Amino acid sequence: MADIRALERGDIPIVAGLLRAHMGGWELNEKILAATTLEHPWSHPDVPSLVALDATGDVVGFIAAQVRKMRLDDREILGVCCGDLIVSPEHRVGAPGAQLLSRMLSGPQDVTWSDSASNSVVGAWRAKGGDVDYSRAADFMFLLRPVKWVRNILAAGIRRERIGRSMVPVGAIPADAGGRLLSPRGDGERAGEVDSAEVTAAEIVQQLPPLPNGVRVGVAWDEPALTQTLTQIQAVHEGLTCRIVRRGLKPIGWYAYVARPGRVSRLLHLAASTRAVDAVLGDLVNHATEIGSVALAGRAEPHLEWSLRTRRAVLQFAWQPVIKARDPEIGAALASSRSLLSRLDGEISPV
């Protein structure tokens, strides 16, 4: 069995090297790794990121913990998004990865999740009482400029570039490809119903409640934590845009997305009361269209279901998010449409 201990600052270069060498697609750097694990305002000594040591005391494995302060109704709860579970291939005998996960899941947090997992990691979570979070396993897509979207794909194919999820997030042709006559959108897109403006984390926290009306459970962001998280995402994803949506003078919600003119833009977070979700989503679609995005994609969160269905979004199972809640009430609430647990709330990863 490997020795397991909390991540220390001196481990950061070694862990970054492990991730670069053995985790395909890992695009962060040592500075961001330290910021998300050791320097985040919500870092908690009782729920640290962990490393596994071999017999000589060298770091050979790692699992990241990103602590999230959450609320369930009027109750404060503690959440942890864990990711970047890695063990060097030559040290996998004895299952140090399973040891890292077991230690992480045995912490004091009320709920633990990861935004994506391989089949083997899903099996390890199930062995520890977790399971796939099927309510967040699908992606949606709206085509905004169908002809240009197809041209981009064909051009990439001619150049023999890899056509991945950043270009084709959902492997289907949406009704949007036929234009607005075949795919009318909802009333939330009516010009003049709402307007929006770019905002900072401070303005979001000052102008909107921690959880929207009607949402029972979610991350209750404060200014320091949201500021740092948005800064980290911006360092990885150029084009991060945060906008607050108002009806008249009243703020009704906000969203954060990676805005990519000429390419596929990606929703990270949309928070609004139940009655305002469609209007806020409509503003997002309009903004993505105005900046020249060829499509808009994102995770099909439970609270978006009605708006995605009525707007004829195309869906596809895309990820294997996993989750474990100590209290069945928390698990049930997170699986319902009255929950908010977005990609912004979780791992900083390719989108």
Tokens of 83: 């990711």
Tokens of 141: 């897509």
Q: Name every residue whose Cβ is closer than 8 Å to that of residue 217 and which is 6 or more positions away in sequence.
A: 70, 71, 72, 73, 77, 211, 330, 333, 334, 338, 339, 340, 341
**Alpha-carbon span 215 to 46, nearest angstrom:** 28
Q: Which domains does the chain have, with CATH numbers?
A: 3-136 (3.40.630.30), 138-318 (3.40.630.30)
**Short-list 283, 106, 270, 261, CA closest to 187:** 283
Quick one: pLDDT at residue 160? 85
Q: What is the pLDDT of residues 208-219, one digit of tens each?
A: 999 999 999 999
Q: What is the pLDDT of residues 10-59, one digit of tens each?
A: 999 999 999 988 887 777 789 989 999 999 999 999 999 999 999 999 99
Quick one: pLDDT at residue 181? 44
Q: Name every residue whose Cβ is closer than 8 Å to that of residue 220 and which is 6 or more positions away in sequence.
A: 69, 70, 71, 76, 210, 211
CB atoms inside a 10 Å sphere around CB 151: 12
**Alpha-carbon span 324 to 335, nearest angstrom:** 11
Q: What is the pLDDT of residues 250-302, one digit of tens each?
A: 999 999 999 999 999 999 999 999 999 999 999 999 999 999 999 999 999 99
Quick one: pLDDT at residue 192? 56
Quick one: pLDDT at residue 168? 86
**pLDDT at residue 65 greater than cutoff 50:** yes
**pLDDT at residue 185 greater than cutoff 90:** no
Q: What is the pLDDT of residues 89-107, one digit of tens each?
A: 898 888 899 999 999 999 9
Q: How far is CA 142 from CA 149, 253, 320, in A?
A: 11, 21, 22
Q: List the Cα angle 308/313/316 in 5-degree steps.
A: 105
Question: Higher confidence at residue 170 or residue 226?
Answer: 226
Quick one: pLDDT at residue 182? 47
Q: How far is CA 312 from CA 141, 167, 278, 309, 328, in A?
A: 9, 20, 13, 5, 33
Question: Residue by residue, what is the 3-state secondary structure of 69-109?
Answer: EEEECCEEEEEEEEEEEEECHHHCCCCHHHHHHHHHHCCCC
Q: Mean per-residue pLDDT for 310-339?
A: 94
Enter the pTM of the model.
0.91
**Alpha-carbon span 277 to 255, nearest angstrom:** 10
**pLDDT at residue 238 greater than cutoff 80:** yes
- Model confidence band, residue 171 (pLDDT cutoffs 50, 70, 90): confident
Q: Mean per-residue pLDDT for 152-179?
A: 78
Quick one: pLDDT at residue 221? 97
Tokens of 140: 């949606």
- Encoded amino acid at 22, one letter: H
